[in-house]
Structure 1
Amino acid sequence: MPRTAPGGILPVFQTPLHDDESIDFETLSREIAWLYDQGADGIVMAMVSETLRLSSEERDELARQACGFGRERGQVVISVGAESTRVAIRHAEHAERSGATAMMAIPPVATACDPADLLVYFRALLKATSIPLIVQDASGYVGRPLPIGMLADLLGEYGSERILFKPEATPIGPRLSALRDATKGEAKVFEGSGGIALVDSYRRGIVGTMPGADLITAIIALWKALEAGNEARVTRIGSLLTDIVSLQCGLDGFLAVEKHLLVKQGVFTSTRVRGPVGFHLDDETRREVDRRFEALMAAVQSN
C-alpha cells in the first residue's frame, strides 16, 4: 500500500563536497541533523542537491545515506527523474528500497515530450513502486512547463495520496491556482521557489514547501506566522526573505549562495560546487548576501 503523502516544511539539502569533489557524508549527516533540529518536517534530495552532476552510482549512495540519516526523524523525499524511463525506474526502486517516504521526479530535460509520453513516464514510476510520487515541474531551471491537463489526469487516475505536485513554471501563482481549480482543490501542492513565492502560494492552498537548507530558520518562522495569521510578522519576514532569495539567480546561483550561508552558519566547511558552473559568488555579492541574511535573522529573532 502507498505510504502517507508528505507535507509540511521539507528543505532540499545541499550536498557537501571534499576538495576532490567526492561527497562528504560526515558533513551531510551533520546538515540533516541540523535541519531536523531547526524544526524541519523532513528532507529532500533534489536538483540543488546537485543530482544532475552525480553519476547514477553516486545518486544511489547519496539517496541511501540520506534515508539512513533522516528517516528516523521525519520524511525523506528522493528525486528520481532521469533522461530515460528505464534509468528513472532504477532510481525509484532504489529510493523505495532505501526507505524513502516519497519520490520526486522531473521529466526528461533534453527531450520535448508530448503529454502522452510524459504520462507513460510517470505511470511507469508509479507502477514500479508503492510510495507517493511528487511530480516536479522544474521548468524554472530546465525543461518546459508541464501541461495542467496532464497533471489533472494523473491525479484523477491515482488520487491525492499517491500523486502530489511541485509546480515551478512561471507565473507560479496563477499556474498553482490553475492546477488547484482543474482538480477541484484536490491537488496537494508544494511551493518550490526557495521561499520567494511562499506567502502567495500559502494563500493559494499549498500543503508544504521545499526551500533550500540555508534559510530553514526563516522559512519555519514564516510558515508559523502564516499559520497563526500574524500578518505583521508575515510581511516583515516575507519581504526580507524575498530580498535575499532574489540574489540567487538560477540553479548555480542557489548553489553558490546556499553553500556560502551554510558555511556561515557552521554547518558546512566548504562551498565547493561541482563544475562547470554558471554563477560565481563575487566579493560584492557575498557582502550583500551577508547583509541581507543578518537583517533576515534579526527579524526572525524579534517578537
Structure 2
Amino acid sequence: MSKQIAGVLPVVLMPYTDSGALDEEDFLSQADHIFESGCQGLVVGQMSELLRLTHDERLRVAELCAKSVQGRGISVMSTGAETAEAAVGYSRHAEAAGVDALLVMHPATLPLGDDEMVEYYGRIVEAVSVPIIVHHAKSLARIPLSIGAQAQLLRQYGEDRVMFKPEAQPTPPRVSQLRDATDGRARIFEGDGGMMLLDCHRRGLAGTIPATETAEIVGVLWRLLEAGDRAAAERIGHPLSYLMCHMMNSTDYYLSIAKRLLKERGIVKNDHIRGPSAHVLDSESWSEASRVYTRLLNLSKELSR
C-alpha cells in the first residue's frame, strides 16, 4: 500500500452543468475545498449519484478522481457493479487512472449469500493491486454481509488489501463485532455522514467518509476525537448528528440540501440532481438545515483555533 488510507475522506457530490452534463470544473472545485479543509483525501461513492452515470461517465469520473488530488492526499473511486465482471472492469480502469484505493459496493439487485459475496469481492481484490474498501450499503443490500464473511476476506487477503465501510444497522455494534472478529486488524471507516462518529470512533476506526458539504465540520470533529477531547467533540458532534438525521430521509432529500449548501457557498454553480428524481426541497426544511449548518460551520471555526 503506497499511501496510508485513513482519516477524513469526504464524498464528492456529482456536479452538473445547466444542461445536465458532468461539470468537471466543479468536481475539481470540490476537491480543492476538501483539501483546503484539512481532509486527507476524497471519495467518489454512492452519494455521488454513481448509479445514475453512464458507462462512459463512470470511466471519466474515475480519471477526474485521480486527477483532482494533485499530490495532496488520497483518491478513492467506487467501482462496484451488479456483476464481478463489470466491477473488475471498472476497478482495473480506476487503478490504471491512478486512484489510490477502491470503494466496492456489493450487487444490489440480487440477494447474495456470504459465499457469493466473498467470491465477488475476492475476484476484485485479485484483479487489482490497490486496496479495496468493502462497502456494505444498508439501503441496497438484499442480504446483509455477515461479520464472518468480512473477517474471512481479511484473513484471506490481509488488512492492507481489504478494508471496510460497514453500514448495516445498527452501525456502532457492528463496528465492534468486526473489530473483535478480526482481533483488531480490520481498518474500518464510518459511513453515516458523521452521525454516529462519536460512538464509532471509540470502538476503533481508521477514518470516516462524510460528504463535501461537511468536510471542515467532520474534519474538526475527527481531530478532536483523535486528540481525546471528548467534551469539545460532543459540542460539534451532537448538532452534526441532528443535521444528518434531518438530511438522511432519502438520497435525493440529502442531495437537495447538500448541493444547495455547496451552491450557497460558491463551491459549485448548480444544485441539479440527475433524474428521475422529482424531489423539491421545501422552504421550511431548507431553513432548518441551513440554520444548523451555519451553527456547525461557526463551531468548527471556533474549535479549530
CA distance in structure 2 between the partners assigned to 1:91 and 1:119 by the alignment: 18
- State which drifts further: 290-299 or 54-63: 290-299
Identity over aligned pairs, percent: 35
Count of residue correspondences = 302
**1:211 matched residue in structure 2:** 210
What amino acid maps onto 1:82 in structure 2? A
**2:89 matched residue in structure 1:** 90
CA distance in structure 1 between the partners assigned to 2:64 and 2:143 by the alignment: 31
**2:295 matched residue in structure 1:** 295
- State which drifts further: 34-43 or 278-287: 278-287
Q: Deviations over 1:161-192 (max 9, x none)?
A: 00000000100011111111111111100000
Give, in angstroms, the shift of residue 231 of structure 1.
2.2
CA distance in structure 2 between the partners assigned to 1:117 and 1:5 by the alignment: 29
Call closer, same or farther: CA 1:279–1:146 in 2, change over 3 Å.
Answer: farther
Call closer, same or farther: CA 1:71–1:158 in 2, change over 3 Å.
Answer: farther
Q: Deviations over 1:253-285 (max 9, x none)?
A: 221121011112210111100012264321110
**1:168 matched residue in structure 2:** 167
CA distance in structure 1 between the partners assigned to 2:181 and 2:141 by the alignment: 24
**1:69 matched residue in structure 2:** 68
**What TM-score comes out, normalization by structure 2 length?**
0.96
Classify the secondary structure of the residue corresponding to 1:139: coil
CA distance in structure 1 between the partners assigned to 2:138 and 2:149 by the alignment: 15
**Does the 8 A contact of 1:67 with 1:100 survive in 2?**
yes
What amino acid maps onto 2:286 in structure 1? R
Q: Deviations over 1:117-144 (max 9, x none)?
A: 1111111111111000100001245543
CA distance in structure 1 between the partners assigned to 2:49 and 2:222 by the alignment: 26
CA distance in structure 2 between the partners assigned to 1:70 and 1:142 by the alignment: 30
Structure 1: gaps of 5 or more residues:
none
Call closer, same or farther: CA 1:250–1:142 in 2, change over 3 Å.
Answer: farther
What amino acid maps onto 1:32 in structure 2? A
What amino acid maps onto 1:242 in structure 2? S
Q: Deviations over 1:57-81 (max 9, x none)?
A: 1000011012111152110000000
Give, in angstroms, the shift of residue 5 of structure 1.
4.7
**1:151 matched residue in structure 2:** 150
**1:124 matched residue in structure 2:** 123
- State which drifts further: 95-104 or 65-74: 65-74
CA distance in structure 2 between the partners assigned to 1:41 and 1:198 by the alignment: 17
Structure 2: gaps of 5 or more residues:
none
Question: Aligned ranges for residues 9-24 of structure 1 at < 5 Å?
Answer: 9-24=8-23
What amino acid maps onto 1:294 in structure 2? T
CA distance in structure 2 between the partners assigned to 1:75 and 1:252 by the alignment: 27
Q: RMSD across aligned C-alpha pairs, in angstroms?
A: 1.3
CA distance in structure 2 between the partners assigned to 1:4 and 1:294 by the alignment: 34
Q: Deviations over 1:100-124 (max 9, x none)?
A: 1000111100000111111111111
Question: Aligned ranges for residues 211-230 of structure 1 at < 5 Å?
Answer: 211-230=210-229
**1:267 matched residue in structure 2:** 267
What amino acid maps onto 2:289 in structure 1? V
What amino acid maps onto 1:29 in structure 2? L
Call closer, same or farther: CA 1:189–1:163 in 2, change over 3 Å.
Answer: same
CA distance in structure 2 between the partners assigned to 1:220 and 1:65 by the alignment: 23
**What TM-score comes out, normalization by structure 1 length?**
0.96
Call closer, same or farther: CA 1:253–1:129 in 2, change over 3 Å.
Answer: same
**Does the 8 A contact of 1:71 with 1:100 survive in 2?**
no
Are positions 1:234 and 2:233 aligned together? yes
**1:193 matched residue in structure 2:** 192
CA distance in structure 2 between the partners assigned to 1:298 and 1:262 by the alignment: 16
Give, in angstroms, the shift of residue 230 of structure 1.
1.8
